[in-house]
Amino acid sequence: MAAAENRLESQSGDAGTGVGPLHLSTAAPALPLRQVVFEAVRAKGRAARSELARGLNVSPASVSAVTNDLIGAGYLAETRAALRDADTGRGRPPVALCVRADAGHVAGIKIAQTGHTAVVHDFAGREVASVTVPGDGPRLDGAAAAGRVETLLREVLRRADLPTEALLAVGVGLPGFIDSAAGTVLWSPLLDERNLRFAADIAGRVGLPVVIDNDANLLTLAELWFGSGRAVSNFAVVTIEHGVGMGLVIDNRLYRGARGLGTELGHMKVHLDGALCQCGQRGCLEAYVSDYALLREAGTALAWQGANADPAVVLESLYAHAKAGNEAARSIFRRAGRYLAVGLGNVINLFDPELVLISGARMRYDYLYADEVLAEMRRMAILVDRPAPRVEAHVWGDLIWARGAAALALSQTTTDRLGAGGLVAAQ
């Protein structure tokens, strides 16, 4: 196989309906041509064989051979291509390839303190069904957390009108330090156990392959598969919710680090011997920016008795007071914004991404990404005669995290069925 070009051409009229990265990693291990071609079709939504040959820099004969294999195995189908202006409609209709959505399904699940979400996606990457339920609060034991995943899976399958056997894999996300390759939760603020073999525990309950990851990584995968990151080779996602998370894509691949602990921005130290973080250390960034940091400040600076009430109610009240002109409330958000600017400036200086995406439930608090916050971030970043990275704030709903988990499951399943181990026929 000839070396694949870094960027796939996007000439198909249905390119906007595809899912998955539009770039190929130059550093990834060599993939079989059938997997490269399949993922190119899924990313573009619809593509002709000649278009694939040009974009991947391989011979038309090679593309025809592998696409015939993929059609025979049940992963691709022929469909009518969109007519170009020069086409007259005479003769044989132009033919394109598309992914067979019924080649299989995956589920994605995210568990969190405030709410749990689950989705089912087909093999083309399209959402089939979803469910959202209230959270259970912090500190579940491992068995209870695995049971919650099992219950969510049953409910989302019921809504999708699919049997368990229709699923090829399940992706699960949760906050904390996750070794995705080993399927182990090293530590999570949700769980009262460390070094939990969470993927194996869930797999034993549901009878399906299970992959897990840190929830910020899954939101990053969601951007890579469905959002602004599809056409960007290097980008960072910073999440602000109960904690502060980060995911990083380098050369079109999610970066996890040697131990699965890479890009833990929330635990970057910003104050020696500073405020206590939920991880047990002091001075972490999230101890100044996250939900519990804002609640702590509301309880001390404003002496609110309500600071011991429902955290969501207190946060909304704090924001309402800030918007109404309460200077103490405003100063709490400004202080959090300044610490966030430090973190974002360090991300830019360390990784030099093309794009920085700020996301999570707290993006509705505009003080955290106000013009002065972004201006301070730029002052802290290295100044050179080059355009600064773009910064975008995305206010996604809860389901986007579960969709990232579904993308993780799709990616793993695609490799298992089309990768170096051989071509496995679709169900």
Residues 5 and 57: beta-carbon distance below 8 Å: yes
User: What mean pLDDT is predicted for residues 47-57?
Assistant: 94
Architecture of domain 15-99: Orthogonal Bundle (1.10)
What confidence tier does 7 reach under pLDDT thresholds 50, 70, 90? very low
Tell me the mean pLDDT in the region 375-385. 88
Is it the case that residue 12 has pLDDT exceeding 70?
no
Looking at residue 191, what is its pLDDT?
Answer: 94
List pLDDT tens digits, range 266-323: 999 999 999 999 899 999 999 999 888 998 888 877 776 554 577 888 888 888 989 9
Q: Are 72 and 423 in contact (CB under 8 A)?
A: no
Q: In the prediction, which pLDDT does 366 show?
A: 79
**pLDDT of 93 strictly over 90:** no
Q: Identify the residue with better confidence: 321 or 88.
A: 321
Sequence spans of domains, the chain: 15-99, 104-220+400-418, 233-353+361-395
**In the prediction, which pLDDT does 360 show?**
82
> What is the bridge-based pairing of β-strands 355-359 and 390-394?
parallel
Q: State which CATH number among 3.40.640.10, 3.40.50.300, 3.40.50.2300, 3.30.420.40 fits the domain covering 233-353+361-395.
A: 3.30.420.40
pLDDT, position 219: 95
Above 60 in pLDDT, residue 16? no
- With 80 as the cut, is the pLDDT of residue 8 above it? no
Domain 233-353+361-395 in the same topology as domain 104-220+400-418: yes
Mean residue pLDDT of the chain comes to 88
Q: What is the pLDDT of residue 10?
A: 32
For residue 21, pLDDT over 70 is answered with yes
CA–CA distance, 124 with 346 (Å, rounded to integer): 37
Whole-angstrom CA distances from 280 to 103, 111, 158 are 46, 22, 40
Note the helical H segments in 275-326.
286-289, 291-301, 311-323
Choose between 346 and 395: higher pLDDT: 346
pLDDT of residue 15: 38
Topology of domain 104-220+400-418 in CATH is Nucleotidyltransferase; domain 5 (3.30.420)
